[in-house]
Amino acid sequence: MKFYIPFISLLTVTTAFSYTLLGRNIKRDVTLNVNKYAFSEVSENCKNDLIEFQDLYKCTGFVNITKENLHSVCVDFNSEKCQTVLQDPLSYIPNCKNSIVISELFSETAVNFKKAEMKIVCTFDESGNLCPVGEIFVNKTSNQIVERSAIRQSCRSEKCTKVMIDSLPLFLKETKNAEGLTITEGKVDKDIDKNVDEWVDYLKSEECSSQYIKNGQNVNSASISTVKVVNSALIITIALIVFYFLN
5-52 pLDDT, tens digit each: 344 333 433 334 344 433 333 334 555 555 444 555 678 898 889 888
8 A C-beta contact, residue 168 and residue 125? no
Strands (E), the chain: 16-17, 21-22, 31-32, 184-185, 213-214, 217-218, 235-236, 241-242
Residue 19 and residue 175 in contact, taking contact as beta carbons nearer than 8 Å:
yes
- pLDDT tens digit string along 184-229? 766 666 777 777 888 899 999 999 999 997 645 554 443 333 333 3
Q: Residues near 40 by Cβ (< 8 Å), separated by ≥ 6? A: none
User: Region 231-247: what's the mean pLDDT?
Assistant: 33
Domain-by-domain residue ranges, the chain? Answer: 4-242
Give the model confidence (pLDDT) of 70-124 as tens digits: 999 999 999 999 999 999 999 999 999 988 888 888 888 888 888 888 898 999 9
Sign of the Cα torsion 233, 190, 19, 204 reads negative
Distance CA 138, CA 239 (A): 11
Judge whether 81 and 59 are in contact, CB under 8 Å: yes
Distance of alpha carbon 189 from alpha carbon 236, whole angstroms: 12
